[in-house]
């Protein structure tokens, strides 16, 4: 899953980005409202973390423009002021949640995961594909009750496929979920990670099928 962090404090942005990457999120970072507005017009994210006070265009205006475009991406506002007025402003502008600085790392991650679950609607706490399990609260994969140890990008691809289980997922969608703005997107890299995931799933009844020219699909061998 990919997040956009909009925060003008470089030190805080660095800390948050590293924290989220350790949680297997792909993270893009920008430091001002104009850059955020520009990126949000072209990129798709699972959650946006948006500082309310930014140089130039502030966070509320970024959010207002986002909602006027009918973009329903979940937005978590970062605010230094926990007053009732500030909270009301956040929600009135279209925010889904907020945290007050300074915040605990565990609280931030928990709120992000809650927004993802809410966006997914009735997503079960445990998704199954054959004998492959995905625990939505922890974003962990289990096979035969054993934790699967995956590299971050392997995890991102398998998560993207699991959340769209039974549906075709294009290479473009996988690249968007995996590569940040600072990366050089590579369609060939997707093939490499898919190959590695198939090795991880070699003893599983879940399988990744290639649909040439269309993308990939995750489904149980029993369903084929």
**Last residue within a domain, chosen from 94, 119, 144:** 119
Q: Are residues 143 and 190 in the same domain?
A: yes
For the stretch 138-163, pLDDT in tens is 888 999 888 999 998 999 999 999 98
d(CA 74, CA 1): 13
**Above 70 in pLDDT, residue 204?**
yes
Residue 90 domain boundaries: 2-119
Q: Are residues 6 and 76 in the same domain?
A: yes
pLDDT for 120 equals 64
**Above 90 in pLDDT, residue 180?**
no
Q: Are residues 110 and 169 in the same domain?
A: no
Q: Are residues 37 and 67 in the same domain?
A: yes
Question: To the nearest whole number, what is the mean pLDDT of the chain?
Answer: 88
pLDDT for 184 equals 80
What pTM was computed for the model? 0.78
Q: Are residues 131 and 35 in the same domain?
A: no
Q: Are residues 72 and 93 in the same domain?
A: yes
Q: What is the number of domains present in the chain?
A: 2
Q: Half-sphere exposure of residue 222, counting CA atoms within 13 Å on the CB side?
A: 7
Q: Are residues 214 and 130 in the same domain?
A: yes
pLDDT for 23 equals 86
**Last residue within a domain, chosen from 89, 119, 149:** 119
- Mean pLDDT of all residues in 170-174: 91
Q: Are residues 95 and 166 in the same domain?
A: no
- Mean pLDDT of all residues in 186-209: 93
**Last residue within a domain, chosen from 119, 142, 176:** 119
pLDDT for 124 equals 63
For the stretch 74-131, pLDDT in tens is 999 998 877 777 778 788 888 999 898 888 888 999 899 888 877 765 556 788 999 9
Q: Are residues 109 and 132 in the same domain?
A: no
Pick the residue with more confidence: 121 or 44? 44
């Amino acid at each position: 899953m990919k997040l956009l962090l909009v925060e003008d404090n470089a030190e805080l942005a660095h800390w948050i980005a590293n924290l989220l990457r350790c949680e297997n999120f792909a993270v893009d970072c920008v430091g001002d409202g104009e850059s955020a507005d520009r990126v949000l017009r072209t990129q798709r994210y699972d959650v946006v973390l948006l500082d309310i006070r930014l140089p130039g265009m502030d966070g509320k205006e970024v959010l207002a423009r986002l909602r006027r475009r009918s973009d329903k991406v979940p937005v978590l506002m970062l605010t230094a002021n926990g007053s009732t007025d500030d909270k009301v402003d956040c929600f009135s502008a279209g925010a889904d949640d907020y945290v007050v600085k300074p915040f605990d790392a565990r609280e931030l991650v928990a709120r992000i995961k809650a927004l993802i679950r809410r966006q997914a609607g009735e997503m079960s706490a445990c998704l199954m594909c054959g004998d492959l399990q995905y625990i939505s609260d922890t974003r962990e994969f289990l096979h035969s009750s054993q934790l699967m140890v995956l590299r971050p990008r392997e995890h991102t691809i398998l998560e993207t496929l699991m959340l769209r289980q039974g549906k075709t997922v294009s290479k473009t969608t996988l690249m968007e979920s995996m590569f940040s703005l600072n990366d050089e997107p590579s369609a060939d890299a997707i093939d490499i990670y898919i190959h590695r995931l198939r090795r991880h799933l070699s003893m599983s009844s879940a399988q990744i099928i290639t649909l040439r020219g269309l993308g990939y699909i995750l489904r149980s061998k029993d369903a084929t």
